[in-house]
Amino acid sequence: MTAHTNCPLCQSDGGLVLFRNAFLRVIDAQEADYPAFTRVILNRHVQEMSDLNQAERGGLMSAVYLVEALQRRHFQPDKINLAQLGNMVPHVHWHIIARFTDDKHFPNPIWGAPREAANAPDGEHEAARRNAHIRQRVPAYHEDITQSFTALLAETTDPVPEQTRFEQTLHRIING
């Protein structure tokens, strides 16, 4: 990994590592209000997606899509947010965030101010119950990430999983 001394994603894992190969790592972002928040982080320091070649862009996005499919399987969110900002940390990484209509920011981005309690749906208790339920599912989700990524990527130095195997894996995850 080409490290930059002022880049937090070069200096640390950025969260709990669920999978790592030479190209990327998948981490649990460990956000208390969003227990299914996951990041896919390029290992080497690159600032923009257009700095990657086509195969690297494809491999990174395949990883993002795989995490999204696993979140759908394990958590049945109302929506999944994909974000690649880099304003605060200019190192290529993607946020994959399972969203629910009763989470504290919905429908706004999670980085903004929380919505006012008066605008929140009845049932803060319902949201707390859902978050507790999600936390119970997180270990199986983590295990599924590790197994799925290992099966697709661990034995290769190519950043892009073989397309047929990747599509079969996505189909299996989405359709059961």
Residue 111 domain-assigned? Answer: yes
Q: Is residue 34 in some structural domain?
A: yes
**Does the residue 169 lie in any domain?**
no
**Residue 56 within any structural domain of the chain:** yes
Q: Which domain CATH number covers 149?
A: 3.30.428.10
Residue 44 structural domain: 8-156
Predicted confidence (pLDDT) per residue in 59-101, tens digit: 999 999 999 999 999 999 999 999 999 888 999 999 999 999 9
- Domain count of the fold of the chain: 1
pTM of the full predicted structure? 0.89
Residue 167 belongs to some domain of the structure: no
Question: 7-19 pLDDT, tens per residue?
Answer: 999 999 999 999 9
Asked whether residue 162 is domain-assigned, the answer is no
pLDDT band, residue 43 (cuts 50/70/90) = very high
The DSSP-derived string for the chain is ----TT-HHHHS-SSEEEEE-SSEEEEE--BTTBTT-EEEEESS--S-GGGS-HHHHHHHHHHHHHHHHHHHHHH--SEEEEE---SSS-S-EEEEEEE-TTSTTTTS-TTSPPPPGGGSPS-HHHHHHHHHHHHHHHHHHHHHHHHHHHHHHTT-S-SSPPHHHHHHHHHHHHH-
